[in-house]
Amino acid sequence: MSWHPQYRSSKFRHVYGKAASKEKCYDCVPITRNVHDNHFCAVNPHFIAVVTECAGGGAFLVIPIQQTGKLDPHYPKICGHKGSVLDIKWNPFNDFVIASCSEDATVKIWDIPKHLLTRNITSPKKELVGHVRRVGIIEWHPTASNILFSSGYDYKIMIWNLDTREPVISNPVKILDAHKDVVLSMSFNTDGSLLATACRDRKIRLIDPRAGTVLQVASCKSHKANKVLFLGNVKKLFSTGTSRWNNRQIALWDQSDLSVPLLEEDLDDSSGLLFPFYDSDTHMLYVVGKGDGNIRYYEISLEKPYLNYLTEYRSPLPQKGIGTMPKRGLEVSACEIFRFYKLIPAKSLIEPISMIVPRRSESYQEDIYPLTTGAQPALTAQEWLNGVNKGPVLVSLKPGSGAVNSLPEFPGPDLLMEAADLNQHQGCGTRRLLKDLEKPSEIEDYKKQRKVEEKLPGDEQICLSNHFDIFECPPPKTENELLQMYYRQQDEIRRLRDLVIQRNVQIKQLELEIKNLQADAGRY
pLDDT tens track for 245-290: 889 999 999 999 998 999 999 998 888 899 999 999 999 999 999 9
Beta bridge partners of 230: 237
Q: Which amino acid is at 427?
A: G
So what's the pLDDT on residue 169? 93
Cα 406 → chain centroid: 12
**CATH code for the part of the protein at 16-383:** 2.130.10.10
Average pLDDT for 326-334: 93
Average pLDDT for 203-214: 94
Beta carbons of 144 and 190 less than 8 angstroms apart? no
Beta carbons of 234 and 225 less than 8 angstroms apart? no
Distances from the Cα of 16 to the Cαs of 7, 13, 132, 170, 311, in angstroms?
18, 9, 45, 47, 8
So what's the pLDDT on residue 492? 81
Is 2's pLDDT higher than 70? no
Q: At a CB cut-off of 8 Å and minimum separation 6, what does 499 contact?
A: 415, 419
- Give the span between the Cα atoms of 58 and 79, in whole angstroms: 6
Write the pLDDT tens digit of every residue in 107-154: 999 999 987 788 999 999 999 999 999 999 999 999 999 999 999 999
